[in-house]
Chains A and B, each alone.
Chain A
Amino acid sequence: MSLLRLLRRRPMIVLGIAVVTVFTVAAIVAPLIEPYSTSKRSGASFSPPSGAHLLGTDDAGVDVLSLVIAGAQNSMLVGFAAAAVAVLIGGAIGIIAGYWGGWGETGLVALTDFFLVIPLLPLMIVLATLFGQTIFHIVLVIGLLSWMQVTYVVRAQVRTLKERGFVRRAHSLGASDPYVIRRHILPHVAPLLVAQTVLTVAAAVFFEAALAFIGLGDPARVSWGTIIQNAFLHTAVSAGAWWAIVPPGVCIALVVLGCFLIGQGVEEAMNPRLGNAHVSPRSFRLRRPAEAPPS
């Protein structure tokens, strides 16, 4: 399926890409578009939204809009970097386990299952406490514990690919394993990896906010998580300053939703069986499958 056709058929993917792109661009050009400094007071404490401060100010009189833009930088950075770590690890393990099989696969599957069972947030908290609180360590902690889903999906795909005719033919013509993986397996797994990357970005942004809220964020940097933590610690609630609380949460939710839309869209496009064509219980008409364009 060509990329253009995919996008035309699934407008939700386009919407998701648009949302994520807006935040990514904002994150990249953050220092240029922040209206005020994020380290200096630019108004009274907890002044409500106004023309001068579109989203008001926080407890220290810092402009919330500037904070949110600066926060985008670190939250998106953690999101993408952690997702890259997770997809590299998960993709590699998934391909190795699915392609070679045997006892190696059994071992890797057991490892994956083990980490799938362990409650993730507590483990991340433990590791972040032990590792320390720089942004590098936070990326590492989140990335090192988010690869399991990727492995799971990739391994399943590689296992079916391995038995397909073109792979067997390549083998019988004398192609080496690295060649087959590069030319035949990777291209077929790539869309899945993209979907998984995007979904992992969402999870990582979420986890970063959670860690920051518990006090395990990078103290030297502003992120959406630390803004929420700051609002909680510094009486934004009792001051009724909703403007200091709402914006970072909305940003997280939008990025997560955008990533969901992209990830789900790509996964559904790859596996049409996820769309359902069932007999309706009430009319007994065969429902149109989700694949068809909306009428």
Chain B
Amino acid sequence: MSKRQKFVLRRLGSALAIAFVAISFNFVLFRALPGDAVTNISQVPNVSNETRAALRAQFGLDKPLWRQYFAYLERLLQGNLGVSYQNQQPVAGNVFRATGNTIPMVGLGALVAIAVGTVIGVSAAYRQGTLLDRGITETAMVIYSLPVQWLGLLLLVWFAGVLPTSGMSDPYLIDAGLWATLKDRLAHMALPSTCVALTLFGQFALVVRSSMLEALGDDHVLTARAKGYGTGRVVWREAFRSAMLPLVTLSTLTLGFVVGGTILVEAVYTWPGVGLATVQAVGTRDYPMLQGIFLIVTLSVVAFNFLGDVLHAILDPRVAE
């Protein structure tokens, strides 16, 4: 087994361990805290103790904690995340649908952020110390310090009337052709995706800038320059390639958070994804839904972290040593 394979296996082991701890943590979080599902449901006046006991038995809450824990693990293995209080549907299906809505919107925003952030970061590094560089780094920092929900509201104020401001599609658009549907979907995505891109690009610009600064000082870049290669080749093919590592890591980390959606952005634009589902679950105290969402979001982050480690090992064999 090569060193690299060993490294990947080790990371897989630790990812699985973290996933298991996260699953158990999710159980503890919702069960071991004072007040269970029944104390919440039975808050109607005049609940008899018999009803309460019957409910408790129905939810399996009369069993010892470790039995509940194993029942929880068993249900998870069957893909059963419980039933939502809000619509009496399985949580797994609800979360799955919401994820399907979130990924295109946040994914688009994240991709734009990565592309724009990279170009901006590289230009800033190339012109380190100039007005352009200072302007870019300072703008990135200012935008980074704006509250996301507030930025979203400002975009709403500016673009109300120009672009659709809530939901995912026009409810009056029925049986439209593929092209019209796609256009409608993109128009609805425009504001939330822009908001996501704005909140993310600064990070990418700053990370790319600092790793490019380091790479531009490398010997092989100097050599390339001495050989008389043009600016484009020196910057992008020589320096950028060795500066890509942090960018790849940050990108996979960010993509891990895509599934979690950006709760605040979805709340502002009532985009029916995971984030909005979270807000609604909080508003209605829909614990099974909240628990399911939190589990899926956590597991996706762990999975993407692992993916980042693997990519890192492929791009930079030194990490395995």
Residues of A within 8 A of B (CB): 113-114, 117-119, 121-123, 125-127, 129-130, 202, 206, 209-210, 213-216, 228, 231-232, 236-238, 240, 242, 245-246, 248-249, 252-253, 256-257, 260, 276, 278-282, 284, 287
B59 part of interface (Cβ distance < 8 Å): no
Complex: chain B residue closest to A216, CB-CB: B282
**Contact status of A257 and B141, CB under 8 A, knowing A119-B257, A122-B278:** yes
Give bound CA distance, A206 to B148, whole Å: 9
Across the interface, which residues of A come within 8 angstroms of B302, CB to CB?
A: 117
A113-B18, A279-B217 provided; 7 other pairs, C-beta below 8 A? Answer: A215-B282, A238-B160, A240-B160, A246-B154, A249-B151, A252-B146, A260-B141
B297 part of interface (Cβ distance < 8 Å): yes
B293 part of interface (Cβ distance < 8 Å): yes
Q: Are B264 and A213 in contact (CB under 8 A)?
A: yes
Across the interface, which residues of A come within 8 angstroms of B264, CB to CB?
A: 210, 213-214
Q: List 5 A-B pairs, minimum CB-CB distance, nearest first.
A: A249-B150, A256-B145, A278-B217, A281-B216, A213-B149
Across the interface, which residues of B come within 8 angstroms of A125, CB to CB?
A: 263, 278, 282, 290
Q: Chain B interface residue count: which class?
A: 35 or more
**Contact status of A215 and B153, CB under 8 A, knowing A122-B294, A276-B213:** no
Complex: chain B residue closest to A116, CB-CB: B305
Give bound CA distance, A237 to B152, whole Å: 11
State which residues 248-307 of B face A: CB under 8 Å. Answer: 257, 260, 263-264, 267-268, 278-279, 282-283, 285, 290-291, 293-294, 297-298, 301-302, 305
Give bound CA distance, A231 to B156, whole Å: 12
Q: Are A249 and B146 in contact (CB under 8 A)?
A: yes
Complex: chain B residue closest to A208, CB-CB: B147
Across the interface, which residues of B come within 8 angstroms of A206, CB to CB?
A: 147
Give bound CA distance, A276 to B124, whole Å: 14
Across the interface, which residues of A come within 8 angstroms of B210, CB to CB?
A: 276
Residues of B within 8 A of A (CB): 18, 21-22, 25, 29-30, 33, 35, 126, 128-129, 141-142, 145-151, 153-154, 156-157, 160, 165, 210, 213-214, 216-217, 221-222, 225, 234-235, 239, 257, 260, 263-264, 267-268, 278-279, 282-283, 285, 290-291, 293-294, 297-298, 301-302, 305
**Contact status of A213 and B267, CB under 8 A, knowing A126-B290, A256-B145:** yes
Give bound CA distance, A159 to B285, whole Å: 45
Across the interface, which residues of B come within 8 angstroms of A232, CB to CB?
A: 149, 153, 268
What are 16 pairs between A and B in contact, CB < 8 Å? A118-B298, A119-B257, A119-B297, A121-B263, A126-B294, A209-B147, A214-B278, A215-B279, A216-B282, A228-B150, A238-B160, A249-B146, A249-B150, A257-B142, A279-B217, A281-B235
Across the interface, which residues of A come within 8 angstroms of B35, CB to CB?
A: 130
Give bound CA distance, A121 to B278, whole Å: 11
Most buried by A among B157, B214, B267: B157
Give bound CA distance, A209 to B268, whole Å: 13
- B297 contacts which of A122, A210, A215 (Cβ < 8 Å)? A122
Q: Are B18 and A117 in contact (CB under 8 A)?
A: yes
Give bound CA distance, A239 to B21, whole Å: 48
Across the interface, which residues of A come within 8 angstroms of B165, CB to CB?
A: 237
Give bound CA distance, A216 to B282, whole Å: 8
Q: Are A242 and B157 in contact (CB under 8 A)?
A: yes
Q: Are B290 and A237 in contact (CB under 8 A)?
A: no
Q: Are B147 and A228 in contact (CB under 8 A)?
A: yes
Across the interface, which residues of B come within 8 angstroms of A256, CB to CB?
A: 145
Shortest CB-to-CB span from A99 to chain B, Å, is: 25
**Contact status of A249 and B147, CB under 8 A, knowing A117-B18, A276-B213:** yes
Q: Are B128 and A129 in contact (CB under 8 A)?
A: no
Q: Are A210 and B290 in contact (CB under 8 A)?
A: no
**Contact status of A248 and B150, CB under 8 A, knowing A119-B260, A122-B263:** yes
Q: Are B305 and A117 in contact (CB under 8 A)?
A: yes
